[in-house]
Amino acid sequence: MSTLPGYQSNRVAELMGEPAELRGADWLKDSLQQAVMLELATLPPYLCAMWSVEDQEAEVYEAIRRIVFDEMSHLGLAGNLLTTIGGRPHLADGRTVPVYPGPLPGGVRPGLIVSLSGLTRESVDLFARIEEPDHPVAEAETHTSIGAFYSAILDVFREHAELITGARQLKRNMAHHGAGNSIVAITSLSDVETAIDVIKEQGEGTTASPENPHPGESGELAHFYVFREIYHGRKLIKTSENPDRWEFTGDAIPMPPALPMGTVPAGGWGASGTTTPDAGTRALLDAGNRAYSTMLRLLEQAWQANTPAVATDLLNKAVTQMRHLEEPARSLMSRELPDGSGRTYGPEFRYSDT
C-alpha cells in the first residue's frame, strides 16, 4: 500500500533505489506525493525573497515573480499527475508541510538546508542549488537532481500508462504567465510527458541549452540559470560554439534594494528569546500562517472534489488565500527584530490545523 512518509524522511532516495521491476502503482503514488511536497517547498523561500524587494519594477523582482508563477503551475501539475492515477495529494498535514529551516523533502539534495529570509546573494545561491540540474551547461557539478527524480517518474508512467484515468483534475488558465504555465488535465501519456517536460525544463533547462523551452518571454532562461545570473550580477551569454560555452559575462544585473528580513529560526520567531515578537507582530505572523494553512486545506479539498465546478471554486478560494499572504508579509518586513541586528521579521509559513 502507498504510505505517507514525513517531510524529513529519506523517501525520495529510497524510491530511487528501488529496482525498476518493482516500480508500479504504489511506487508512482509515493513518488508523486514527494513531488507535490518538493514543489510546495520552493514557494515560501522564493516568495520571501520576492516580497522583500522594494522596487517591484526591478528586473530581479520580475525574474523571481516569473519563477514563482512557474512553481505554482508545477505544484498544480504534480497534483494532477497524482490524482490521475487514483492518488490523493496530502498538503494540509503536519507530516508533509515544509519545515524551515530544514532539508528538502525525501532526502533530495542531502545536506542542503532551506531557510526563509529576504533577498541576498546567499539566498539566490541557495535557490540555484535547489534547482540545479545534473549537468549544467555552466558551473557544472555532479549530484542527483529533482529533474532526475521526475525522469524516473516518467519512465514508470511509460511502463504503466494504463494507470492514467484523468480523475479529479484541476484546471486553471495561466497562459498569461508564459507558455506551458497553465494547469491542465492529465488524461493521457502524452499529457504526462508534456507536464513533466515543463516541470523539468523550466527549472533546469535542457542538456543543450540554459534557455527555458516554455518561456513567458523570448530568451527567458531556466530557473537555475536565472538565479545564477542574479548571484553573479551578470547575464549568462554564449561565448563560443562547437562546443557551446556559456559564461556569466554579459550585461550587469544590479541587486535591487531589499528589506532586511532575517532568517526565520527553527520553531518560528517566538522560539528564540532574542526575536520574540510583540503582540502586534505576533498578530501579523498568525494572520499569515492562517492564510497559508487555509490555502493548503483548500487545495487539498479541491483535488478531492467530486465535480469540476466544486473543484474550480475551491481552487479559486485557495488562490485568494495566497494573495492574502503578501500584505502581512510586507508589513512584517518593516518591523525590526528586537535583537539589535538591524534585521526585520518576515513570514514563518508555519502550518496550523486551526
What SS3 state is found at 183?
A: strand
For 239, the enclosing helix (H) or strand (E) is: strand 237-240
Residue 179 confidence (pLDDT): 65
Where among 258, 286, 318 does a domain terminate? Answer: 258
Residue 269 confidence (pLDDT): 95
Residue 280 is assigned to a structural domain of this protein:
yes
Residue 206 confidence (pLDDT): 58
Q: What is the CA radius of gyration of the chain?
A: 20
Same domain, 276 and 216: no
Intervals of the chain under pLDDT 70: 1-8, 134-145, 178-179, 204-208, 215
**In total, how many domains does the chain have?**
2
What SS3 state is found at 234?
A: strand
Q: How far apart are CA 23 and CA 15, in angstroms?
A: 8
Residue 90 is assigned to a structural domain of this protein:
yes
Residue 207 confidence (pLDDT): 57
| DSSP secondary structure letters along 14-37 | HHHHS-GGG-SHHHHHHHHHHHHH
Same domain, 206 and 242: yes
Residue 189 confidence (pLDDT): 97
305 in Cβ contact with 296 (< 8 Å): no
For 122, the enclosing helix (H) or strand (E) is: helix 121-131
Residue 46's domain comprises 11-258
Torsions phi, psi of 301, nearest 5? -65, -35
106 in Cβ contact with 34 (< 8 Å): yes
Residue 120 confidence (pLDDT): 96
Residue 301 has which C-alpha cell?
479539498
User: pLDDT tens, 339-351?
Assistant: 999 999 999 999 9
Where among 258, 289, 309 does a domain terminate? Answer: 258
Where among 236, 258, 280 does a domain terminate? Answer: 258
Beta-carbon count within 10 A of 320 CB: 13
Same domain, 251 and 126: yes
Residue 172 is assigned to a structural domain of this protein:
yes
Same domain, 243 and 309: no
For the chain, the average pLDDT equals 89
Same domain, 210 and 264: no
User: pLDDT tens, 181-197?
Assistant: 889 999 999 999 999 99
For 333, the enclosing helix (H) or strand (E) is: none
Residue 5 is assigned to a structural domain of this protein:
no
What SS3 state is found at 185?
A: coil
Residue 68 has which C-alpha cell?
514563482
Residue 136 confidence (pLDDT): 53
Same domain, 84 and 134: yes
DSSP letter assigned to residue 118:
-
Residue 2 is assigned to a structural domain of this protein:
no
210 in Cβ contact with 137 (< 8 Å): yes
User: pLDDT tens, 3-41?
Assistant: 566 666 788 888 989 999 999 999 999 999 999 999 999
